[in-house]
Amino acid sequence: MRGEERLNTIDAPPPRRRGLLRRYLDRRHRYIVERRLPKFSERPIDWSTNLIHTLLYRIGFAHIGKLAVIAAYFVLTQTLTGQHTTIFRSPVTLPDVKGVWDHLLTRDAAHGGLVEVLSQHAWKPVRHLIRAGYEGIFGILLFRQIGYNVLKARAKDSGEPSAVDRFFIRFMPFVANRHQGHQITPLQYSALPLVVTIASIPGVAIGYGIVYALHHLAHATWLSPQLHAHPSFAAKFYASDYDAVIVGIFAGLTKLVSYVIDPVLHSNTVYFARRRVAKGRKGAWWHPPAYRLLVDDLERHPDAQEHAQAALDQRSGASTALLVGGWIVIFSLAAYGYYIIQYIA
């Protein structure tokens, strides 16, 4: 993004060192100078270590996303059932959100249905598929966030906005764009769930088409004997929730979702890296490799702390509050989601 200015670095050669640990530090300094992580052909051990390190973080954050969606779904659709309560000594009847959601697209309008499309029996699995689909989408977004490589993304940046970029910047200011020339706005953070949902629709449609075709092809050909021989495997193979999660993951990896989410992933990663540099800290060994590389790259500037703090001061206070508050909400929902699975569901 143009709003995330590139800091200059000092490309001084590392001092000559002896010993295994010192040679490792020399290699790390070389990759910091070149602003990239090592390739497999260069350092297979370092590349493999970075891959395992990143995957551990990504798998963990993907599960956090899944648990957060479970909790959000439960809170938004299953907790308000028309209860009678008192607020400021005044009797209040809460809305029956659960009743409306459970009959939303059914012909049972008397119990809260809004649009007569499906039977109650058909709507029940559909609403559970919606939750499972969001689990896949949100899980893969957190999977991508924790391992996002800012320096690699900058190296691939073409530099000039395309006609599509200009259209989004002009007519859809609520959609973040890497060429917008400023930080992510509070409006863009607030609209992100809706934007991701709309951007995921084509991927969900294509994903379900692919899954249906694979089911039909596999069942009609080579997989049929295995399915009959292993009923438990067959049950999982035809489980709709598994399909929905896979389709959600597929939708979260599509080009359209990447287009609207990558600027946000970029800005989030840079913010936390600058915050660490502003406190005078370097990248730690336990950090995800791409994040650690970014922190080390920013820290090499002659006035790294001052530059990082100046960049942080330019951010909107509301944007920072939404970013930090959003992560607090995500982790809180994930903890509650775990509680729901263990003690409620």
Mean pLDDT (whole number) for 70-98: 86
228 falls in which pLDDT band (50, 70, 90)? low
> Which pLDDT score is estimated for 222?
58
Say how far apart CA 272 and CA 6 lie, in whole Å: 16
213 falls in which pLDDT band (50, 70, 90)? confident
187 falls in which pLDDT band (50, 70, 90)? very high
Q: Over the chain, what is the mean pLDDT?
A: 83
Question: What does pTM read for this prediction?
Answer: 0.83
Q: Which residues pair with 93 in a beta bridge?
A: 84
* Predicted confidence (pLDDT) at residue 42 exceeds the cutoff of 70: yes
- For residues 234 and 326, which has the higher predicted lDDT (pLDDT)? 326
329 falls in which pLDDT band (50, 70, 90)? very high
> Which pLDDT score is estimated for 9?
43
The verdict on residue 9 lying in a domain is no
> Which pLDDT score is estimated for 159?
73
Say how far apart CA 239 and CA 92 lie, in whole Å: 41
The verdict on residue 12 lying in a domain is no
> Which pLDDT score is estimated for 28?
59
C-alpha distances (whole Å) from 76 to each of 14, 83, 92 are: 55, 15, 19
Q: How many domains does the chain have?
A: 1
The residue range of the domain holding 100 is 20-344
Mean pLDDT (whole number) for 117-122: 76
| Percent of the chain residues topping a pLDDT of 90 | 46
The verdict on residue 1 lying in a domain is no
* Predicted confidence (pLDDT) at residue 50 exceeds the cutoff of 60: yes
The verdict on residue 269 lying in a domain is yes
* Predicted confidence (pLDDT) at residue 158 exceeds the cutoff of 80: no
The verdict on residue 268 lying in a domain is yes
Say how far apart CA 147 and CA 268 lie, in whole Å: 12
The verdict on residue 99 lying in a domain is yes
The verdict on residue 63 lying in a domain is yes
Strand positions, DSSP E, the chain = 84-87, 90-93
> Which pLDDT score is estimated for 33?
62
The verdict on residue 10 lying in a domain is no
Mean pLDDT (whole number) for 21-48: 71
> Which pLDDT score is estimated for 25?
54
Mean pLDDT (whole number) for 130-156: 92
* Predicted confidence (pLDDT) at residue 162 exceeds the cutoff of 60: yes
C-alpha distances (whole Å) from 211 to each of 125, 218, 237, 254 are: 17, 10, 10, 16
Q: Is 91 helix (H, G, I), strand (E, B) or coil?
A: strand
Residue type, 264: V
> Which pLDDT score is estimated for 6?
46
Phi, psi at 118, each rounded to 5°: -120, 165
> Which pLDDT score is estimated for 44?
85
> Which pLDDT score is estimated for 86?
83
Q: Which residues pair with 92 in a beta bridge?
A: 85
